[in-house]
Amino acid sequence: MLNWSKIDTVLLDMDGTLLDLHFDSYFWLNVIPEQIAITQNISLDAAKADIAKRYQAVHGQIQWYCLDYWQEQLKLPIMDLKREHQHLIKVREDVPYFLTELRKAGKELILLTNAHPENMVLKFEHTAIDNYLDGVISTHQYGVSKEQQSLWHQVHNEIGFDKQRTLFVDDSEAVLNAAKDYGIAHLLAVANPDSQQPSKEIASYLNVTDYRTII
């Protein structure tokens, strides 16, 4: 279990960690292929195969998270399509209590997300999750994703957190590995980021499916 007495700062991912990942999964794996099939007049299977290759080519890089990049690549109105499906944006059920209790305990809460700023604003508008936070950082302001060590150096230089007294929470093994390599002492993996998918623990890390169990 986490030793909260040794934690001052909590760095939090957004999609899959604070918010249900279902919106993003549905959008990129269903909505986008459907739109490609329509605009390019190809079968849905062909569209899914095409987009899967495109995703894989930039996976883990800042482009993978960049709405401007995908709008240019796919010639689709990405933000307009996201707004059409924004009813699927939801805060994880266990998050409000979790963040409220951490604030009561005096922890500094900072969002550290790979999400594009426009995507982040849309989700804030729909969930008001930013009201719980002391700070918000999109990696796009640095031009590099959380998977890269240079990102951690830049964020550390800007906000000056104590690596030994910081907890980082994320649902991506690659991102957790990067945080570990940088020296973040406390790491927590989210095993159930998508409410419509079964839980899957990330090996080598403390896993959580309900934040209320670790307060």
> pTM for the whole thing?
0.95
CATH class of 4-21+90-213: alpha beta
- pLDDT of residue 93 exceeding 90, the answer is yes
Nearest Cα residue to 7 out of 138, 166, 150, 121 = 166
Tens-place pLDDT, residues 11-55: 999 999 999 999 999 999 999 999 999 999 999 999 999 999 999
List the structure tokens of 158: 């800007």
- In this prediction, residues 102-128 reach a mean pLDDT of 97
Tens-place pLDDT, residues 158-168: 999 999 999 99
- pLDDT of residue 148 exceeding 90, the answer is yes
Query: How much is the mean pLDDT over the chain?
Result: 97
Q: Are the C-beta atoms of 70 and 78 separated by less than 8 Å?
A: yes
Predicted local distance difference test score (pLDDT) of residue 1:
85
Predicted local distance difference test score (pLDDT) of residue 149:
98
Nearest Cα residue to 85 out of 13, 15, 30, 14 = 30
List the structure tokens of 132: 């719980």
- pLDDT of residue 70 exceeding 90, the answer is yes
- In this prediction, residues 183-192 reach a mean pLDDT of 98
Q: Is 76 exposed, middle or buried (CB count within 10 Å of its CB: 0-12, 13-18, 19+)?
A: middle
- pLDDT of residue 189 exceeding 90, the answer is yes
Helix segments in the chain, DSSP class H = 22-26, 32-40, 44-58, 67-74, 78-84, 95-104, 117-127, 149-159, 173-182
DSSP string for residues in 154-211: HHHHHH---GGGEEEEES-HHHHHHHHHHT-SEEEEES--STTS-----TTSEEES-G
Residues carrying CATH 3.40.50.1000, the chain:
4-21+90-213
- Does an H or E element contain 113, and which? strand 108-113
Predicted local distance difference test score (pLDDT) of residue 118:
96
Predicted local distance difference test score (pLDDT) of residue 167:
98
β-strand pairing of 166-170 with 135-138: unpaired
DSSP 53: H
**In the structure, what pLDDT confidence band is assigned to residue 8 with cuts at 50, 70 and 90?**
very high
